[in-house]
């Protein structure tokens, strides 16, 4: 088979055919390749960039802010990093860059960058928010608004004592204007609680707006939250952000610990002075918004691992709410199973099905349980529900079901083991919760919660005296 050497012309033709912005520099920062897509993003001609130093063409960049120059300095790749800069014509651009060094063994030859333009995505997002705002302004027509809450606290189905206590706290917090932090594993029902608090509050007639902070890049999230001024980036127009749209109501920020730290600092300023500044704007705008945040780890753990600013944590954590995972409230598994199956005109549920559902650990919590029930209903059609209708993930439990005495006794043994480990850890640390939590490899707040449960369960169970770390 005949082989062909890849010529320079062929390589350029291949790179020019890729629908991504590609920019390569040599080890001195001089541009050696710059494709037409990159030129289109930057509003430049290819000839204006080739053969010139990066900082000469893009003077707003520095060695600290340029991803290409950082890679030349460190010889380490950078993946999906946001970059905002001006080109030589003064146009403000936003991209997300993946930049890698070009190495020949240990020798650095240069660096190459692949960039995605988020200016267009920003424009589309702002158009969507504008459309939602117009729908919201038609509230007087009594049509449904996408900024209304649809859940109340009654929609959180539980008979677990700890969750009932949590709902009572949520009801109490609803009567105030203080910020609320909700934390719990994925699928435990954090947004139901957030909407329920809004629905129970004096702001219930105002908008309820939810935003997942981990679903979009930082530069896009900033413009979504704070809005934009015309000219702040290519295609930008005057646009309200979610803070302005949520005025008089509640803004729910999910996966708060995924928000970049620089945006968390801006959020802190909003909480402190009640005003925002749009991206590219110079004037401040007063807003009246209640903030409810949620995360899937304890706030203290997020502070410790650096994903949550300590100053913002102390400002937001006035009214904390913890939602226990479904595996820690097994009675709710049976309750949800019964309630969801009652939607059927008639059904019979063998005890073994309840035992299998009770033995599964439900990593996706209530959301996963409800999806599984829907699957079982679909599979069984009009038949009596049996083990043959269970999804594959429950098959292993089904195979072991005959060897299990009951899921209740298994739960009891697991509780005994957990309580024994907690008592041993607390004994080893002379009652120091922080040190015991590190031994058990769980968040301090989780251990505190479990200790409280142990104390309430039985006065005969003696838990070592709780002493906080200095």
Strand residues in 213-351 grouped as ranges (E): 250-254, 275-276, 285-286, 290-295, 319-322
Question: How confident is the model at residue 139, as a pLDDT?
Answer: 47
Question: How confident is the model at residue 467, as a pLDDT?
Answer: 45
Nearby residues of 282 by Cβ (< 8 Å), 6 or more positions away: none
Question: How confident is the model at residue 343, as a pLDDT?
Answer: 63
Question: How confident is the model at residue 267, as a pLDDT?
Answer: 92
Contact 148, 254 (CB under 8 A): no
Identify the bridge partners of residue 50 per DSSP, sorted by sequence position.
Answer: none
Give the residue carrying structure tokens 């679909």: 378
| Beta strands at 275-276 and 285-286: parallel, antiparallel or unpaired | antiparallel
DSSP codes, 190-213: HHHHHHHHHHHSTTTTS-EEEEET
Question: How confident is the model at residue 4, as a pLDDT?
Answer: 54
**pLDDT tens digits, one per residue of 235-268:** 556 788 899 999 999 999 999 998 988 899 999 9
pTM equals 0.61
Question: How confident is the model at residue 116, as a pLDDT?
Answer: 80
Contact 58, 87 (CB under 8 A): yes
Question: How confident is the model at residue 270, as a pLDDT?
Answer: 92
For 98-116, letters b (16+ CB in 10 Å) and e give bbebbeeeeebebbbbbbb
Identify the bridge partners of residue 294 per DSSP, sorted by sequence position.
Answer: 182
CA distances from 189 to 160, 168, 254 (A): 14, 15, 12
Helix (H) or strand (E) holding 24, with range, is strand 21-26
Backbone angles phi, psi at 86, to 5 degrees: -105, 140
**pLDDT tens digits, one per residue of 274-326:** 999 988 788 899 999 999 999 999 999 999 999 999 999 999 988 999 999 99
Question: How confident is the model at residue 403, as a pLDDT?
Answer: 52
Spatial distance between the Cα atoms of 222 and 244, rounded to a whole number of angstroms: 13
Backbone angles phi, psi at 397, to 5 degrees: -65, -40
Question: How confident is the model at residue 470, as a pLDDT?
Answer: 40
Question: How confident is the model at residue 172, as a pLDDT?
Answer: 95
Say how far residue 438 (Cα) sits from the centre of its chain.
Answer: 25
Residue of 283, 324, 359 lying closest to 448 (CA atoms): 324
For 19-55, letters b (16+ CB in 10 Å) and e give eebbbbbeeebebebbbebbbebbebeeebbeebebe
Helix (H) or strand (E) holding 34, with range, is strand 31-34
- Weakly modelled stretches of the chain, pLDDT under 50: 1-3, 139-144, 404-408, 459-470
Spatial distance between the Cα atoms of 361 and 387, rounded to a whole number of angstroms: 18
Q: How many residues does the chain have?
A: 470
CA distances from 310 to 107, 213, 449 (A): 42, 18, 21
Question: How confident is the model at residue 71, as a pLDDT?
Answer: 94
For 164-197, letters b (16+ CB in 10 Å) and e give eebbebbeebbeeeebbbbbbbebbbbbbbbbbb
């Amino acid at each position: 088979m005949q082989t062909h050497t890849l010529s320079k012309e062929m390589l350029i033709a291949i790179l020019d055919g890729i629908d991504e912005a590609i920019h390569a520099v040599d080890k001195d920062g001089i541009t050696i390749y710059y494709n037409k897509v990159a030129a289109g993003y930057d509003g430049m001609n290819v000839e204006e960039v080739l053969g010139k130093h990066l900082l000469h063409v893009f003077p707003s960049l520095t060695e600290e802010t340029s991803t290409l120059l950082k890679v030349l300095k460190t010889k380490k790749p950078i993946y999906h990093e946001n970059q905002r800069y001006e080109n030589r014509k003064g146009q403000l651009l936003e991209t997300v860059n993946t930049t890698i060094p070009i190495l020949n063994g240990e020798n650095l030859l240069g660096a190459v960058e692949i960039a995605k333009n988020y200016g267009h995505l920003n424009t589309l997002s702002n158009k969507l928010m504008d459309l939602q705002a117009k729908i919201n302004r038609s509230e007087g027509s009594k049509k449904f608004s996408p900024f209304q809450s649809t859940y109340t606290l009654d929609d959180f189905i539980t008979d677990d004592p700890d969750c009932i206590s949590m709902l009572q706290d949520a009801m109490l917090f609803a009567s105030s204007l203080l910020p609320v932090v909700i934390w719990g594993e994925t699928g435990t029902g954090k947004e139901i609680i957030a909407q329920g608090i809004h629905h129970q509050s004096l702001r219930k007639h105002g908008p309820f707006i939810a935003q997942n902070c981990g679903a979009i890049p930082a530069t896009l999230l900033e413009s979504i939250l704070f809005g934009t001024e015309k000219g702040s980036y290519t295609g930008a127009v005057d646009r309200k952000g979610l803070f302005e749209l949520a005025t008089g109501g509640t803004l729910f920020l999910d996966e708060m610990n995924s928000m970049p730290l620089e945006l968390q600092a801006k959020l802190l300023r909003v909480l402190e002075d009640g005003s925002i500044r749009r991206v590219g704007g110079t004037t401040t705008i007063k807003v009246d918004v209640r903030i409810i945040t949620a995360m899937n780890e304890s706030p203290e753990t997020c502070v410790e691992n650096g994903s949550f600013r300590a100053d913002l944590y102390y400002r937001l954590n006035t009214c904390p709410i913890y939602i226990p995972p479904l595996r820690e409230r097994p009675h709710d598994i049976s309750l949800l199973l019964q309630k969801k199956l009652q939607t059927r005109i008639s059904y019979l549920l063998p005890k073994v099905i309840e035992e299998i559902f009770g033995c599964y650990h439900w990593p996706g919590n209530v959301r996963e349980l409800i999806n599984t029930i829907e699957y079982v209903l679909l599979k069984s059609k009009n038949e009596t529900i049996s083990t043959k209708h269970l999804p594959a993930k429950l098959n292993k439990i089904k195979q072991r079901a005959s060897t299990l005495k009951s899921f209740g006794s298994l739960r009891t043994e697991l509780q005994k083991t957990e309580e024994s480990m907690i008592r041993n850890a607390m004994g080893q640390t002379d009652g120091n919760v922080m040190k015991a939590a590190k031994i058990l490899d769980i968040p301090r707040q989780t251990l505190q919660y479990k200790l409280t449960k142990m104390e309430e369960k039985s006065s005969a169970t003696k838990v070592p005296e709780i002493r906080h770390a200095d």
